[in-house]
Every structure is written in C-alpha cells, then in structure tokens.
Structure 1
Amino acid sequence: MTANLSIAGLELGGTKCVATLGSGPGDVREQHVVPTTDPATTLAGLEAVLDSWSFDAIGIASFGPIELNPARPNFGSIIATTKPGWNDTDLTRRLSARYGKPLAIQTDVNGAALAEARWGASAGLSTHAYITIGTGVGVGLVANGRPIMGYAHGEAGHMRSARAPGDTFQGWCPYHGDCAEGLLSGPALAARFGRPGQDVADDAPEWDYFAHDLAALLHNLIVSLAPERIAIGGGVMTRRPQLFGAVRAKVAASINGYGALAGYSAELDERVGPPGLGDMAGPLGAIAMGLEALDR
C-alpha cells in the first residue's frame, strides 16, 4: 500500500521549488516552498526541509533540460538551461550521497504527465501529454505508458510553427526566438504585451495571438503523436481558463477534418483541458517519481 510509504518529492521550477512529503493525492502530509534563486541557496533550502523528514525514497521532477541517460557522467544534472546560473547543476549524486535512499528523476512535465496517468485525468491512457505554460513552456510526452526518450528527452516547448498573420513579435527565447516558449511563456507575454500577462484584460485582442500560437503547438503534437489527452497547466492557463475555448476552436480549424483525426477534432472538449490534479500535478509528479524509484 502506497499510503504506508513516505516519499520526499522535489518539484524544481523556474521561480519556486515545492517539497512534498506523502504518497499520493490523498496522502500529502507536508509541503514547503523554496524560492528558486541560485543553485547553492536553493538546494540548501530543499535539503533543510528533507533533513527534518523521514522517508523511503526521493523523487525529483525538475525544470530542464536534464541529462537522463544513466550511462553519461553528468546523469541527473541540469544542462544548457535558460535559467541563469543553473547549467551543470548536479541533482542526483548530491542527494543520493546525502540521504542514501532510492532516487528517480524526470523532467517536471514528464513527472506531471506520469502523475496524471497514475491519479489524474489521463488514468487508463497509454499515450498522452502534459504541457505547462509559466516561466517557460514544457511538454511532457508519454507513449505506451513511458516518457518518450531518444538521444535526450524531448523539447517540444521549443517547437516552431507558422505565425499568425500580422504578428511581428520576434520572440523571447534566447536560443530560438519565436519558438513556443519564446511566444507563450510568462516572460514572452510580458515582452510582447509590454506588461505582465496577468495585467492584460481577459478580452484584450492580444490573447488571439496566444491562442493561435498554443493551437499551433497542439496541432503539431496531435499530428505527430495523437495523444489521447493533452493536459495544459501552469500559471497562464490556470488564471485564464476561458482561453481553452478559443484554443480548441483554432485546433479544430487547423486540423480541418483531416483523415483519422477528424473524430479527434470533434472530441476536443474531452481531449484538451486542464490537468485532473490541478496545480498539484507538478508536486505529485515528484511523488510519482519517488514511487517509481521504489518500483525499480
């Protein structure tokens, strides 16, 4: 029974980290937030929390990119990230040495996708996706029950797609300019709108660009993977759930009744929506990884 287990789950995000002690959505015993600043300060803050807990395993769900190939010497490290100061930050060796417990690591979005499959709106599905739109744009992709992994984990948040007519915004991403993250993330919206997204009225015409760009990302995911469900979380969509309607309409128009996906377009209200776990999808993703560490 998982309720008899104690998992220390660490969700590392671009602005904050969440440490959770428990075994699932019905068993969250403690939760602490540590601001994401520099690696030394942030990890010391998380270790101060873990030092006060008794637990059976550690699960990490972190912003990335992360090296997830165990055969590589920097396995479990954050690599080539847009987060200043975090390149080459080791996570797994440091925590394994300190606590001596089973440990598993994944990207934050893959962890959230696995939590959605274990406890949320993707339960019973083998192929699904989780997208978070906040400080960055992350896409977790699960096929046949496991996160997709090739040479590295996927980076669909940096996918490029056709721009809306008349949209001349250059994009915010320092690597790719107008990729999905460069158009949809919180910093991108602030740069595009000239003010934070939360200060823009719900009915402002600027949101049409956002809906177009998110629909373009979804189009590419649907035609390449055909996920049975796409959960979209993160601060931007959580604050503006009314955008789901506009995004679904644009996705349907983009797919345009094509082939086997015609039926998918007719089911977008069920296929595309918020995570079943709400804003707990991320923290529970870390718990899911801790349970996987014990399963191994």
Structure 2
Amino acid sequence: MSEAPLVAGIELGGTKINCILASGPDTIEDEVRIPTTRPEETLAAVEAVLDRWSGFVAIGIASFGPISIDRHASDYGHITSTPKPGWAGTDIVGRIRSRYNVPVGFHTDVVGAALAEARWGAAKGLADIAYVTIGTGVGAGMIAGGRPVDGLTHSELGHIRPVRVPGDDWLGVCPFHGACLEGLVSGPAIAARTGIAAEDLPAAHPAWETVAQAIGQLLHTLVLTGIPRRVVMGGGVMVGTSHLFPSVRAAMTRSLGGYITLPEVALADSYVVPPALGGRAGPLGAIVLGAQALGEQLQSSFTAP
C-alpha cells in the first residue's frame, strides 16, 4: 500500500469506462473496463466495481462531454447536450456522491488527461499545459497553476471554425457545425472524406494537408490563450499516424506567422509532443481530480469557522 491515499478514478468515455483504484501510475491496485451502454446500466456497473473496492478516500470522474462544471449551477455534475443517445441530462456526480461518503472531483476527460500528463507524463513538472485529443472527437483541456482552467463552462475548442484550405468546400461531419475542427479532422471525418480509416490512409494522401492545417489553427489558438507551456496531443488520429506531428507543428508555426516569439513555442518539436501515459492518461487524470477534491475538502475543514 502506498503512503499517498487511494482514489477511485472513473474515466467515463463514449464507448467504454475505465475504472482504476490507485494513488498514481506506480501504485495501481486494480483496473476494470466496462462498456458504455445506457446510463442506468453503465452507472450500475461502475457502482458494482466501486462497491467491491475498499480504502479509497475520494472519487474522481473524467467524463466525455459536454458536462456542467459550474458548482453553483442546478445541473452541476450532469452530462448536458451530448448527442450520445440517452445520456443528455444524466446526473453523474449526484448519483455517485449520494452513494459514497467521500469527496468527488469532476471534469472533462481532456482536462483529466492534462492533469495526469502534467503530474506524471509528457509535461511532468509543468503547471500550465494543454492536452488535445484528436480521435473519434476533438477536444482540448487546459490547466494553469496545476488546476483546470474553469469559468462559465469548460472549453469546447474542438468546435472552432478553421480557415479552410483554398478550394476545399467539403461539408464536414459535425452534426452541429458541419465543417468545424471536429467535423474536418476527427477519425470519422477523415473516414467520411476519404473512404479510408485514418490509420490506413497513406501519408502522401492530400487529405492530410487539410487535416494538418486545421489542427495547426487549433494550436495557434491555444498559444494565443497565453496558458500552455507545452501541448500534449493524443487520440487515435495523432498517435496512430506519427507523420502527422511534424505537419501540425509546421502548420502551427505558419499560422502564428512569427507573432509569438517565445522560445518555448519556437521550439515546436518540444512544444507539441505525444503523450507519455498512453491510454492511462484519462483514468490517472481522474485520480488527480479525486485527490484535488479531497484537498479542497480538507482545506475547507481547516478554514471553517
């Protein structure tokens, strides 16, 4: 048993749930994977896993979105306008919190992955980073000072509208925006445009130019927030096609046009990097979220009158 407290982490994904009991990557007590089906069936299966675990002092949940992260909102802890059938309006935090008498941390899966990569992975030692996933969907999560960048809601930068490659008028696949970033560069978008899965699409295929330019504009946007000291990029499209990293780094540099002269950004090879934690970034991020929730509760207990 480790000296750090055990946390139950739940990565709530669109196709599968990863449950992990750990205090970090070197102290994993158990891992369980569950398919994502209907909310009632899925959450009952998660509870069955947590019910047989013991010793955890907090729970962290890193979830697919959109979700409500405003703790003052009546729908805090809910899945909101997701297109995933049956999940819109599902109360995740309320259900888990009512069953287990421990602090519960809750945020997006990409923020969870950012926290894990900053704590143990490709951005270890950096308190200000972004994590981008390009896969079935596109998402970006940012942390500053080791904490999620929060406000009205979480970022949805996967749905920005990039400037198109001249002559490219393909409609895209996003059901909300058509040719937004996700509608142009996600795995389903690449397959719909080319008829070939991203991992099988030859590196010389012209579609990669449009993909790289669009992702480069997302990186441009992240740089202009002034937050990330490094951008970690994961997801099946990025990790499964290693030739894409040089292209998106070059696209980011072209898009910025010399406006940002900071050496960290200029050294694009070390600024935009692949993840180090692989598929465990999400569930380990949930561990960090749970640990942060525990810390907040302890702090409030010390400061309460």
- TM band (smaller chain): over 0.9
In the alignment, structure 2 segments of 5+ residues that lack a partner are 297-305
1-structure distance, mates of 2:265, 2:285 = 28
In the alignment, structure 1 segments of 5+ residues that lack a partner are none
Q: Bigger shift: 138-147 or 23-32?
A: 138-147
Moved over 3 A (4+): 1-4
Partner of 1:191: 192
1-structure distance, mates of 2:84, 2:110 = 16
> What amino acid maps onto 1:153 in structure 2?
H
1:156-209 Cα deviation digits (max 9, x unpaired): 111111011222221111111111111122222222222332332233222222
Alpha-carbon shift at residue 3 of structure 1 (Å): 4.2
Q: Is the 8 A contact 1:257 1:265 kept in 2?
A: no
Q: Is the 8 A contact 1:60 1:289 kept in 2?
A: yes
What's the % identity of the aligned pairs? 51
Q: Is the 8 A contact 2:131 2:232 kept in 1?
A: yes
Q: TM-score, normalised by structure 2?
A: 0.91
Partner of 2:160: 159
Q: Is the 8 A contact 1:255 1:265 kept in 2?
A: no
**Secondary structure of 1:77's aligned partner:** coil
Note closer, same or farther for the CA distance 1:195–1:85 as it changes in structure 2 (3 Å cut): farther
> What amino acid maps onto 2:31 in structure 1?
Q
2-structure distance, mates of 1:217, 1:83 = 24
1:70-111 Cα deviation digits (max 9, x unpaired): 111111001011322210011111111112222110111111
Alpha-carbon shift at residue 28 of structure 1 (Å): 1.4
1-structure distance, mates of 2:2, 2:289 = 13
**Secondary structure of 1:113's aligned partner:** helix
1:29-88 Cα deviation digits (max 9, x unpaired): 211111122212221221221122112211000011111111111110010113222100
The 5 A counterparts of 1:1-296 are: 3-54=3-54, 55-225=56-226, 227-261=228-262, 263-296=263-296
> What amino acid maps onto 1:98 in structure 2?
R
Alpha-carbon shift at residue 264 of structure 1 (Å): 4.2
Q: CA RMSD in A?
A: 1.8
2-structure distance, mates of 1:187, 1:15 = 14
Alpha-carbon shift at residue 258 of structure 1 (Å): 2.1
Q: Bigger shift: 198-207 or 32-41?
A: 198-207
1-structure distance, mates of 2:217, 2:82 = 24
**Secondary structure of 2:17's aligned partner:** strand
Q: TM-score, normalised by structure 1?
A: 0.94
Q: Count how many residue pairs are aligned between Structure 1 and Structure 2.
A: 295
Q: Is the 8 A contact 2:70 2:151 kept in 1?
A: no
1-structure distance, mates of 2:228, 2:78 = 29
Q: Is the 8 A contact 1:58 1:101 kept in 2?
A: yes
Q: Bigger shift: 148-157 or 88-97?
A: 148-157
Q: Is the 8 A contact 2:122 2:273 kept in 1?
A: no
